[in-house]
Amino acid sequence: LRPAGWRLKSSGGTPEGPLSFLKMLSSVTDAIQQGAFRRGANMGTMRIDHPDVLRFVRIKEDLSQVTNYNLSCTVPDEFMERLKAGRQKLHVAVNPHDGRKALLRKSDDMADYEAFENGATGSDEYWTSGELFELIVQKAWQSGEPGLIFIDRVNEVNPTPNVGPMTSTNPCGEQPLLPYEACNLGSLNLAMFHAPGQGHADDIDWDGLGETVRTAVRFLDDVVEVNNYPTPEIDEMCRANRKIGLGVMGWADLLFAKGIRYDGDEALSLAGRVGEFIRKEAWDEDTRLAEEKGTFTHWEGSRGDKVAGRKMRNAHCVTIAPTGTISIIGGCSGGIEPIFSLVFKRQVMRDAQGNATVMFEANPFFLNALEEHSYTQDEIEAIKEHACNHGTLTGCPVKLSDALLDVFRSARDVGPDWHVKMQAAWQKHTDAAVSKTINFPPEATVEEVETAYLLAYETGCKGITVYRDGSRQNQPMALDAKKAKPENASSSAADSSAETSAKDEIIDMLLEG
């Protein structure tokens, strides 16, 4: 797609650019909802050197825009290294249509090709790389978007470079995909493998975990076989690469059960041991599958062939997804996240008028611990009310033991640096990527968000997504006493008439079949 403002040789006109398509496709998703209540989800990414990147970064200043998209900027190592060296160099955009380079004007955020070609140097007139990065951070502080995808790091371990480079991911960021590929994910509830008093090392049933990993790998491999893909292109690509992604959930619950605080070196060490064990078992079983059933079509020349030197049935095996829905079904904490709150309200299933059903939930490990510490029922109710209102046990009117305060920590108690460190610990043993939200309290500063973005790059993460509690209305999980309000968001924005017409035309075609 040509960037906005690019003059068309055929007509002399100028296109609206990629963002008009982004808005249109978000509206199309509204028209083809996944069932009565479940919303569709998309990932929208734009390279940091795209001429329209400033408009992309700003698009969710109005939270009514592209509501069915998560947004991230894909950032090469060169950009991040340039930030470390100094932030005063002018940012250079590259037209993806013809490769022409431009500077980005501050007056209108548009690309100025002549300025670059004439050697302009004024940072008062044109955006520097540092200013662009700071704008991204500012917008992420406001609304949680855009995130960053470190695209060179993604492609450095691309399992099938012989097929093509990665340019984007699935909606939650854990699965980089080639065109026409699809997610095929499953997750292990780690809390189920806590087995105290049974003679297992670290009170973890490693034998049971290994057996379950091997079974899950075979199950996911079978899913590739039996699945009915919607188009011939998707069918061909998914069967040729056979990507599967076994991940985890219940991590916070396992730490609760073992009496380990989330934000500590012991938790990071355990994450490394569990992650390494799961990947080894998954790879070994995948190699056995390759011996039994044959390698995936594009194995020759793949990373498994050239780097690992082993036959593989599937292009990769391990992916850590957010498990937002299946962890609710499984009754466990989601993904590798710390628990949002020990007691909280969950907004789910909106009706036709947009009103959400509210459900109250309390962590069972926390409730068991309160009962074991012999608190009265009245005291337990007071503790639960405080946790629901404040998202933390800090300041609880009922005196709590140091052991409880040390272990039962929520996302609000965990500093952003520990969120990033935990993501990095799991990433070391994950084939694809890790879906992880770096949580911030409402009072967090823009500078703290920037520190998290930089730390994610330095610690080897493949990307980063942040969320400052309360920065959006109707967030899926909320505390009882807090009413979230978006900050610095305009109330509405009208689409151009041409764009609206395009949306209507495509929606009509879809509805007509």
Residues belonging to the chain: 513
Structural tokens at position 1: 């797609």
> Active site includes 174?
yes
**Helix, strand, or coil (residue 360):** strand
10 Å Cβ neighbour count for 236? 13
The distance of Cα 507 from the centroid of its chain, to the nearest Å, equals 28
DSSP of 475-505: -SEE-TT-----SS--S--PPPHHHHHHHHH
> 12-19 long-range contacts, Cβ below 8 Å, gap at least 24?
16/496, 16/498, 16/499, 17/52, 17/55, 18/46, 18/50, 18/52, 18/56, 19/52, 19/55, 19/56, 19/59
HSE, CB side, 13 Å, CA atoms: give it for residue 194.
Answer: 16
User: Could you say which DSSP state residue 173 is in?
Assistant: S
Is 71:147 a contact under the CB 8 Å cutoff? yes
> Active site includes 371?
no
Question: Residues 73, 131, 172, 388: which is the catalytic one?
Answer: 172
Euclidean distance between CA atoms 219 and 213, whole angstroms: 10
Structural tokens at position 11: 């007509």
DSSP of 3-49: PTTPPPTTTS-----HHHHHHHHHHHHHHT-BTTTBPP-EEEEEETT
Residue in 33, 23, 34, 35 with CA at minimum distance from that of residue 64: 23
Q: What is the identity of the amino acid at 388?
A: C
> Active site includes 368?
no
Question: Residues 174, 181, 337, 448: which is the catalytic one?
Answer: 174
Based on the number of CB atoms within 10 Å of its own CB, is 53 exposed (0-12), middle (13-18) or buried (19 or more)?
buried
Torsion sign (Cα): 332, 336, 341, 342: positive
Euclidean distance between CA atoms 53 and 496, whole angstroms: 20
**Helix, strand, or coil (residue 323):** coil
Question: Residues 170, 314, 363, 439: which is the catalytic one?
Answer: 170
Q: Which residues contact 95 (CB under 8 A, 6 or more apart)?
A: 2, 3, 6, 51, 101, 102, 111, 113
Catalytic residues: 170, 172, 174
